[in-house]
Amino acid sequence: DAKTTQPPSMDCAEGRAANLPCNHSTISGNEYVYWYRQIHSQGPQYIIHGLKNNETNEMASLIITEDRKSSTLILPHATLRDTAVYYCIVQGNTGNQFYFGTGTSLTVIP
């Protein structure tokens, strides 16, 4: 039910951009892509979401491919506090629940 595929882990040097990929090849036309992160077993934190256009906010940028089958979350200047598990999520059919996969464990290295 997760509908997304992410690499299990990634490393990124502090100060560099972290690019986290996600495949969602079965996404349907009206389903949004959401990104959340979970820092050390805290509650998940909302990062960004989008439908088909690229999105940017104060935390990150979201790049969605034209066919919408994959996306990339970009943290432009990673810090040690960005070390977390990042979840790429496609909402459920009714839009009322999120299906979390196993996410990508990002480690930012000093």
Partner 1 sequence: NAGVMQNPRHLVRRRGQEARLRCSPMKGHSHVYWYRQLPEEGLKFMVYLQKENIIDESGMPKERFSAEFPKEGPSILRIQQVVRGDSAAYFCASSPRQGRHTEAFFGQGTRLTVV
Sites of contact with partner 1 (CB under 8 A):
2, 30-32, 34, 36, 41-46, 49, 51, 87, 91-92, 94-103
Closer by beta carbon to partner 1, 31 or else 82:
31
Phi, psi angle pair for 81, to nearest 5°:
-75, -10
Phi, psi angle pair for 103, to nearest 5°:
70, 180
The answer to whether 27 and 3 have CB atoms below 8 angstroms apart is: yes
> Least distance in Å: CB of 13 to partner 1?
26
> Least distance in Å: CB of 16 to partner 1?
26
Closer by beta carbon to partner 1, 79 or else 99:
99
Give the number of residues written for the chain: 110
Bridge partner list, 18: 75
